[in-house]
Amino acid sequence: MTKSIISAFFIILILGMMVNEIEGQQQQQQRCEEALTEIDCGAGNCNALCLQKRKGLGRCVQRTPCDKLKCMCYYPCSS
């Protein structure tokens, strides 16, 4: 009985350490961005091109009120 309790404790402890390690790796992954000038913003075109080109997330953004909308692709730097 005591051996099974100790074994269960160590299994839970090891699994907890593995989860912390995996979460730490995911948080260290940096995000890159690229302006996709070959496409206009509208109707999901930006997101589709970003997904195809960089496996990322495309969004139409306006940096300042005077700027036109442009397609920005956000993706993990490692890809």
Task: Summarize the chain as % helix, strand, coil (round to 5).
Answer: 45, 25, 30
Tell me: pLDDT of 17 over 70. no
Extended strands (E) in the chain: 31-36, 57-61, 70-76
Task: For the beta carbon of residue 66, count every other beta carbon within 10 angstroms.
Answer: 6
Give the pLDDT confidence score for residue 50 in this predicted structure. Answer: 92
pTM of the shown model: 0.57
Give the pLDDT confidence score for residue 22 in this predicted structure. Answer: 56
Q: Which residue has the higher pLDDT, 1 or 43?
A: 1
What is the average pLDDT across 52-73? 89
Range of the domain at 63: 1-76
CA 56 from chain center: how many Å? Answer: 8
Tell me: pLDDT of 56 over 60. yes
Nearest to 33 by CA among 10, 61, 11, 1: 61
- Indicate the number of domains in the chain: 1
